[in-house]
Amino acid sequence: MASRAKATILDIAREAGVSKSTVSLVLQGSGLIRPETAVKVRKAIEDVGYVYNRGAANLRKAHSNVIGMVINDLTNPFFAELAVGMERVFQSAGIVPFIANTAENPVRQEEVLKSLMEQGVAGLIVSPARGTTPGAFRRLETAGVPVVFAMRRLPDSRIPVIAPDNHRGAWLAATHLIGKGHRRLAFFGGTSDLVVYQERLGGFREACDASGIARRDVLVVEGETSRRGGIACLETALALPEPPTAALCFNDAVAFGVMLALRKRGLEPGKDFAVVGFDDVVEAEHYMPALTSVSVDTPGLGERAAHVMLKMIQSRTTHAEDHIGAVNLVVRDSCGPDRRTQDRPAGIGDAA
């Protein structure tokens, strides 16, 4: 029924009896056209079922209004929370961010970035996949497209980063565990090729060292940053002759896996083994037992990243300051005291 060939501004112009330039002006909301003319044009736009062709417009205009969001794991609810924060600020700027998933695969990431660039994005917010090569963002840089890293960073790059204070978060968590009387600790999940991993492990180690925990009493098990990874980590740890009694997990997904694996073995998370997560996703509060976790204000970081992006686009620069978000430990039920401490009658102020 509808006219087959799609309508252009020329069709609108004919319909409204004005020139294409006038239509263009109306489309851009220019104040130069007479209100009555604008009304007439807008009516014609409706009548012909016009769809604006942004591709054509971008041919002339300097900037598009598309912002891409490249994330490494869509199934991790953490990133959904991050995305929601960003969307809040982009929405009020009249921008619709497009989300693309790389599924932690650098090759896929390459494709995604290429596709986004070809689309002419105005900017990119990226949480790089693990194993991303240093040169992966070279092209973006030479093209002058503003890029912001969220949550993760690349070893030597000059791209601005929005991330939580990983070092401090891990330090907080470890200190808490030690304060509960634990003396053999573990760090579960993640891989050393991630900068975040280094930071979190660093904070963890620092707290252990400061409290005089011997190096041989801290166990580090690398693994996938997922529930499955957590399960695997716990299995490895408990197979050891002298297993740890508490663990800080790389993120909440890992922690959930650990709790699951504990249950499968008939152990009670929090009582028989203490576990702390990282990120504090909304599920953490609702788990059984509720997960103690390092809260990073995820939507807040998303908002911040979006703001930085907007500012970069506006000032047509490709640089910006890093932003390290404050963290704090949310203590819930997943980490009680060390069993050995617990066996003795515990007095008030029973410190480690």
Partner DNA sequence: TCCTATAAATGGAACGTTCCAATAAATCAA
Partner DNA sequence: TTGATTTATTGGAACGTTCCATTTATAGGA
Give the footprint of a second copy on residues 110-129 (CB under 8 A).
111-112, 115-120
Strand partners, 147: 124
- Contact (Cβ atoms closer than 8 angstroms) between residue 233 and residue 206: no
Q: Tell me if 53 contacts a second copy by CB under 8 A.
A: yes
309 contact, one of a second copy, DNA, none, CB 5-8 Å limit per kind: none
103 contact, one of a second copy, DNA, none, CB 5-8 Å limit per kind: a second copy
Q: Smallest distance from the beta carbon of 119 to DNA, in angstroms?
A: 12
Quick count: other Cβ atoms within 10 Å of Cβ 197?
A: 21
Q: Which residues contact 165 (CB under 8 A, 6 or more apart)?
A: 324, 325, 326, 327
| Bond from prior residue into 289 cis (ω within 30 degrees of 0) | yes
134 contact, one of a second copy, DNA, none, CB 5-8 Å limit per kind: none
Q: Which is nearer to a second copy, 124 or 208 (CB)?
A: 124
Q: Which is nearer to a second copy, 34 or 286 (CB)?
A: 286
Task: Choose which of 33, 48, 218, 312 interacts with DNA (CB under 7 A).
Answer: 33
Give whole-number Cα distances, 301 to 85, 102, 125, 329, in Å: 7, 20, 12, 17
Stretch that binds a second copy, among 30-38, 137-145, 159-167, 318-326 (CB under 8 A): 137-145
Q: Reduced to 3 states, what is the DSSP secondary structure of residue 195? A: helix
Copy the structure tokens of residue 47. Answer: 């009548």
91 contact, one of a second copy, DNA, none, CB 5-8 Å limit per kind: a second copy
Stretch that binds a second copy, among 30-38, 139-147, 151-159, 344-352 (CB under 8 A): 139-147
Q: Are strands 328-330 and 292-295 parallel, antiparallel or unpaired?
A: antiparallel
CA–CA gap between residue 93 and residue 83 (Å, rounded): 15
Q: Tell me if 101 contacts a second copy by CB under 8 A.
A: yes
Quick count: other Cβ atoms within 10 Å of Cβ 313?
A: 18
CA–CA gap between residue 106 and residue 54 (Å, rounded): 30
Q: Tell me if 42 contacts a second copy by CB under 8 A.
A: no
Q: Which is nearer to a second copy, 101 or 132 (CB)?
A: 101
Q: Which is nearer to a second copy, 59 or 348 (CB)?
A: 59
19 contact, one of a second copy, DNA, none, CB 5-8 Å limit per kind: DNA
Task: Choose which of 32, 84, 214, 346 interacts with a second copy (CB under 8 A).
Answer: 84
Stretch that binds a second copy, among 95-103, 129-137, 154-162, 203-211 (CB under 8 A): 95-103
Q: Which residues contact 73 (CB under 8 A, 6 or more apart)?
A: 79, 101, 103, 104, 225, 226
Q: Tell me if 19 contacts DNA by CB under 7 A.
A: yes
Q: Which is nearer to a second copy, 73 or 222 (CB)?
A: 73
Q: Which residues contact 88 (CB under 8 A, 6 or more apart)?
A: 299, 302, 303, 306
98 contact, one of a second copy, DNA, none, CB 5-8 Å limit per kind: a second copy
Q: Reduced to 3 states, what is the DSSP secondary structure of residue 36? A: helix
CA–CA gap between residue 246 and residue 217 (Å, rounded): 11
Q: Tell me if 62 contacts a second copy by CB under 8 A.
A: no
Give the footprint of DNA on residues 47-66 (CB under 7 A).
50-53, 56-57, 59-62
* Secondary structure string (H, E, C) spanning 210-258: HCCCCHHHEEEECECCCHHHHHHHHHHHHCCCCCCCEEEECCHHHHHHH
| Residues in touch with DNA (CB under 7 A) | 5-6, 8-10, 18-22, 24-25, 27-28, 32-34, 37, 50-53, 56-57, 59-62
| Residues in touch with a second copy (CB under 8 A) | 1-2, 4, 6, 49, 51-56, 58-59, 64, 66, 74-75, 77, 80-81, 83-84, 87, 91, 96-101, 103, 108, 111-112, 115-120, 139, 141-144, 227, 256, 260, 263, 282-283, 286-288
